[in-house]
């Protein structure tokens, strides 16, 4: 009798363990090469015209983007009553971590938004997304500049997804604020103009600051300044340092001056809002800050929350810059998960999402100025792209810097940069000390990443 | 004809005690009742436990196939990780702030709520509320607003003529401010203390009073010793929880400023999900497990010297 109950228990254990192992095994791939499998073709050959299909689509962003995307999904379902699309959307800050967990458990959505900052990382890991080049017969890609897409999204053989928009970096400013302090916004600013005007604001009202940077922007600032000084990304493709000690000292020293002159608020104050955009920063909304350096796709969300007139001007570029350095990137890649059961439907939805005129008019510029020429022309014709957004993109294109490479976008490298910017910003390290330690640590990190 | 097996269940006087089938049918509801727990345990505890141990010797990175790297992860942690010791130091500091703070505060409130006052049940409920809310994301975010530069706390200070303080922006204050959040969630410890206080026989107090003991003496000579088993239990549970803290640093400070709140849980999470170093994060979690085990063992070893059990304290 004991034996039999043991058998029952044993059976249950085996059952449970087999369930566990089946469900939780890591998403291993037979091909261990670091290059993504270019043969990833659409494999969902199920006949979907009759059966009910539920697709999941994930993205991040502001409320305006959520509303527009949900409306477009609704329209697609109306036209294809057998297809239901569920949206999974949330904040950018935790999106990637959630995505990685989903990829690990093979529970990722069918259609996934992927930021340009993650594409190198994901492709290095084997990229579990369908190669877009295999979908040219299902998705009309004529309006897309695939050369631009592949800078951040792949190479000649593999493309992770289609870019939704073009994003340019620039200065978004409060018109009244700058007027009040007698500051002239124009496209000729360099880094010294920033500090001069920062001092002007402080002299007139010490409780106000010319600008504030979120932590991500501090990283852009450092990388852009380095590109302007020497024309390189922070790490070269072979993981060697793309700058000299003098270069980085110059940048750290500038960061210190931004703090010391009160151009930006002290780090003690600013750090609390270092991960939220201007639309959630009470100091911006209460008009205590005049400029928010941002990428163009965030403007609609910030404008909706700001109760004052906004305009844009070009990101600072020194006259003697080796490379103008301004970051121009795709705003997000729309990809298809390789384990999606309904890749055909997903491709059809993406075609609708980018090319259908009604969808274009619903989605408008919520993902930046559309990367699809056809959509962009339509929106410009209808006067839908706000002037600030199109201005920022065109201003950034006049000074587009060299593209970021994989090593420079590595999350650990970015975390290290953030750390040292804080050390300098909190005035804990002098620019020279910071430069020495930073270079030592970055070299060690780069060696471990190779 | 009785089979051999069944014969074993026939008693001396010839009565059948139990059949095999009867016995199983008696037992199976029991197994059935514990089955949800067993499945939950196997799925969500034993499986991750075993696999994370295996992962800790690999370079598992979620998407890529893993390979074994021996003890490299452990070596790297102690010798080549620039933030490991910073994080460990912050975690110990945090445990030292949060655990005693919470225990003292919980005991203090429990003593007050043990008094015979009007509407005492109402107050007990009110004081327990922060614990129900406490673990939630919303409260952590509320904490950010309360302690921000223009937050409620600074507004109150301003009314008293004190200049604003950067509670969460100052690297020297951020950890303590976060500790306050945990101390504020004293409810569960408080309920246990309250139960303990109510179990102390009143005759002990009466006898002490007759002998002329004052309140302070009564507290240290009667209340504390009689509560020591509960203090011991709370100490262990709170220490374990404090070592594992993740929500507060993640939601309030993201480990900053200057890594002053970069607690162990936060470091683990970042390595696993931001840097894709699952194998390394698994190794770190095993070291954390060892640290917690060590502290628990020390607490158990030391307990005979400072806990008092009426029944001698055998467990």
Q: What is the pLDDT of residues B54-87, one digit of tens each?
A: 999 999 887 777 889 999 999 999 988 889 999 9
Among A8, A30, A271, whose Cβ lies nearest the Cβ of B169? A271
Q: CB neighbours (10 Å) of residue A354? A: 24
* CA-based end-to-end distance of chain B: 49
- CB < 8 Å to B5, chain A: 1
For CA atoms B97, B98, B100, B104, the dihedral sign is positive
Structure confidence at residue B138 (pLDDT) = 76
Contact assignment for A24 to B47 by CB distance below 8 Å: yes
Cβ–Cβ < 8 Å for B98, B242: yes
pLDDT at residue A33 tops 70: no
Contacting residues of A for B258, CB less than 8 Å apart: 422-423, 426, 428
Distance from CA of B148 to the nearest CA of A (A): 7
**Average pLDDT over all residues of chain A:** 87
For residues A242 and A398, give the distance between their C-alpha atoms in angstroms, rounded to a whole number.
24
Q: Given pLDDT bands bounded at 50, 70 and 90, which one contains residue B182? A: confident
Helix (H) or strand (E) holding A84: strand A83-90
Indicate yes or no: CB of B62 within 8 angstroms of CB of A104: yes
Give mean pLDDT, residues B36-48: 92
Gap between the Cα atoms of B151 and B141, Å rounded: 12
Token pair for B120: 């005492």
Domains located in chain B, CATH noted: 20-49 (no CATH), 72-306 (1.10.3720.10)
CB A378 within 8 A of CB A357: yes
C-beta of residue A301 within 8 angstroms of C-beta of residue A277? yes
B85 touches chain A (CB under 8 A): no
Please indicate if any CB of chain A lies within 8 Å of the CB of B169: yes
What is the pLDDT confidence band of residue B312, given thresholds at 50, 70 and 90? low
Whole-number Å distance between alpha carbons of A316 and A191: 6
Domains, chain A, in order of start with CATH, read 53-164+331-371 (3.40.190.10), 167-328+399-449 (3.40.190.10)
* Portion of chain A with pLDDT greater than 90, in percent: 60
Q: Identify all chain A residues contacting B51, using CB atoms and an 8 Å cutoff.
A: 24
What is the C-alpha separation between A391 and A373, in angstroms, rounded? Answer: 16
Query: What would the mean pLDDT of A432-439 be, rounded to a whole number?
Result: 96
- Provide the CA A313 distance to its chain's centre, in angstroms: 21
Between these two residues, A13 and A218, which has the higher pLDDT value? A218
Spatial CB neighbours of B78, under 8 Å, sequence gap ≥ 6: B84
d(CA A409, CA A126): 17
Average pLDDT over residues B124-136: 74
Query: pLDDT of B137-153, one tens digit each?
Result: 777 778 888 888 878 89
Which comes out higher in pLDDT, residue A154 or A433?
A: A433
Number of residue pairs across A and B with CB atoms under 8 Å? 110
**Phi, psi (deg, nearest 5) at residue B68:** -75, 140
ipTM: 0.81
Greatest CA span in chain A, whole angstroms? Answer: 92
Average pLDDT, stretch B114-122?
81
Answer positive or negative: Cα dihedral of A422, A424, A429, A432.
Answer: positive
Summarize the confidence of residues A266-283 as an average pLDDT.
86
In order of A294, A426, A439, B192, the CA distances from A434 in angstroms are: 26, 12, 8, 50
Instruction: Give the pLDDT score at A297.
Output: 84
Helices (H) and strands (E) in chain B, counts: 16, 0
Query: B270 — contact with chain A (CB < 8 Å)?
Result: yes
In sequence order, what are the residues at sequence separation of 6 or more whose Cβ sits closer than 8 angstroms to the Cβ of residue B126? none
Cβ separation of A16 and B43 shorter than 8 Å?
yes
Instruction: Inform me whether the pLDDT recorded for A428 exceeds 90.
Output: yes
For residue range B191-243, what is the model confidence (pLDDT) as tens digits? 899 899 988 888 888 898 888 888 888 889 889 999 999 999 999 999 999 99
Sequential DSSP letters for A358-404: HHHHHHTTBTBEESSHHHHHHHHHTT-S-HHHHHHHHHHHTTB-PPP
Q: What is the DSSP letter of B46?
A: I
Average pLDDT, integer, range A15-28 = 40
Lowest mean pLDDT among A27-31, A71-75, A295-299, B14-18: A27-31
- Give B62 to chain A, closest Cα distance, Å: 5
Q: Per-residue pLDDT averaged across A217-232, rounded?
A: 95
Is A16 an 8 Å CB contact of chain B? yes
Contact A190, A318 (CB under 8 A): yes
Is the pLDDT at B253 greater than 50? The verdict is yes
Inter-chain residue contact A4 with B62, CB threshold 8 Å: no
pLDDT category at A31 given cuts 50, 70, 90 is very low
Q: How confident is the model at residue B16 (pLDDT cuts 50, 70, 90)?
A: low
Q: Residue B15 above 70 pLDDT? A: no
| Sign of the four-CA dihedral B279, B280, B285, B286 | positive
What does pTM read for this prediction? 0.82
Rounded-to-5 percentages of helix, strand, coil across chain A: 50, 15, 35
């Amino acid at each position: 009798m004991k034996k039999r109950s043991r058998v029952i228990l044993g059976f249950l254990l085996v059952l449970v363990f087999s369930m566990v192992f089946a469900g939780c095994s890591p998403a291993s791939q037979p091909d261990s090469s670091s290059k993504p499998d270019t043969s990833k073709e659409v494999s969902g050959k199920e006949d979907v015209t009759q059966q009910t299909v539920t697709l999941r689509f994930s993205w991040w962003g502001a409320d305006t983007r959520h509303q527009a995307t949900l409306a477009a999904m609704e329209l697609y379902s109306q036209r294809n009553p057998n297809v239901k699309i569920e949206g999974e959307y949330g904040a950018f800050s935790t999106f990637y971590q959630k995505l990685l967990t989903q990829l690990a458990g093979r529970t990722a959505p069918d259609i996934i938004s992927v930021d340009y900052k993650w594409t190198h990382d994901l492709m290095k890991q084997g990229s579990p997304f369908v190669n877009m080049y295999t979908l040219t017969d299902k998705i009309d890609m004529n309006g897309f500049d695939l050369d631009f897409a592949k800078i951040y999204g792949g190479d000649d053989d593999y493309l992770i997804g289609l870019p939704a928009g073009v994003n340019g970096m620039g200065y978004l400013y409060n018109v009244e604020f700058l007027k009040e302090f007698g500051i002239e916004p124009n496209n000729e600013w360099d880094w010294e103009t920033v500090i001069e005007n920062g001092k002007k604001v402080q002299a007139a009202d010490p409780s106000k600051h010319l600008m504030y940077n979120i932590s991500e922007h501090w990283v852009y600032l450092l990388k852009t300044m380095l590109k302007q000084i020497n024309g390189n990304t922070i790490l070269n493709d072979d993981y060697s340092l793309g700058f000299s000690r003098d270069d980085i000292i110059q940048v750290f020293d500038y960061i210190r001056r931004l703090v010391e002159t009160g151009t930006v608020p002290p780090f003690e104050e600013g750090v609390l809002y270092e991960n939220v955009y201007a639309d959630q920063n009470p100091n911006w909304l209460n008009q205590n800050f005049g400029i928010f350096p941002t990428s163009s796709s965030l403007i609609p969300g910030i404008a909706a929350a700001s109760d004052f007139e906004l305009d844009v001007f070009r990101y600072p570029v020194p006259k003697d810059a080796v490379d103008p350095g301004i970051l121009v990137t795709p705003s997000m890649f729309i990809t298809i998960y390789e384990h999606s059961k309904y890749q055909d439907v997903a491709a059809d939805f993406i075609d609708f999402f980018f090319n259908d005129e009604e969808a274009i008019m619903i989605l408008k510029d919520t993902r930046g100025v559309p990367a699809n020429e056809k959509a962009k022309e339509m929106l410009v014709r209808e006067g839908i792209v706000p002037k600030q957004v199109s201005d920022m993109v065109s201003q950034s294109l006049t000074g587009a810097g060299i593209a970021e490479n994989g090593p420079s976008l590595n999350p650990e490298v970015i975390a290290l940069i953030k750390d040292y910017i804080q050390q300098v910003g909190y005035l804990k390290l002098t620019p020279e000390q910071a430069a020495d330690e930073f270079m030592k640590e970055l070299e060690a990190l780069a060696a471990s990443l190779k | 004809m009785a089979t051999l097996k069944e014969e074993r269940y026939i008693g001396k006087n010839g009565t059948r005690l139990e059949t095999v089938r009867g016995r199983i049918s008696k037992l199976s509801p029991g197994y059935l009742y514990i089955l949800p727990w067993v499945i939950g345990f196997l799925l969500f505890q034993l499986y991750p436990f075993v696999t994370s141990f295996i992962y800790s010797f690999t370079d598992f990175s979620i998407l890529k196939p893993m390979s074994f790297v021996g003890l490299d992860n452990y070596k790297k942690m102690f010798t080549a990780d620039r933030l490991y010791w910073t994080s460990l130091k912050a975690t110990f500091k945090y445990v030292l702030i949060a655990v005693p703070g919470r225990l003292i505060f919980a005991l203090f409130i429990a003593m007050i709520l043990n008094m015979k006052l009007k509407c005492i049940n109402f107050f007990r409920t009110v004081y327990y509320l922060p614990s129900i809310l406490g673990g939630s994301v919303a409260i952590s975010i509320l904490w950010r607003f309360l302690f921000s530069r223009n937050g409620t706390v600074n507004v109150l200070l301003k009314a008293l003529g004190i200049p604003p303080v950067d509670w969460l922006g100052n690297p020297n204050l951020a950890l303590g401010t976060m500790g306050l959040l945990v101390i504020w969630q004293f409810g569960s410890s408080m309920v246990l203390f309250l139960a303990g206080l109510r179990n102390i026989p009143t005759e002990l107090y009466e006898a002490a009073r007759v002998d002329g003991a004052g309140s302070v003496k009564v507290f240290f000579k009667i209340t504390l010793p009689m509560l020591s088993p509960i203090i011991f239990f709370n100490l262990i549970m709170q220490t374990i929880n404090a070592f594992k803290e993740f929500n507060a640093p993640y939601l309030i400070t993201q480990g900053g400023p200057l890594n002053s709140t970069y607690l162990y849980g936060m470091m683990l999470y970042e390595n696993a999900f931001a840097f894709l170093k699952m194998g390394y994060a698994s190794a770190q979690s095993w070291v954390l497990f060892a640290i917690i085990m060590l502290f628990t063992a020390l607490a158990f070893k030391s307990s005979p010297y400072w806990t008092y059990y009426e029944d001698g304290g055998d467990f």
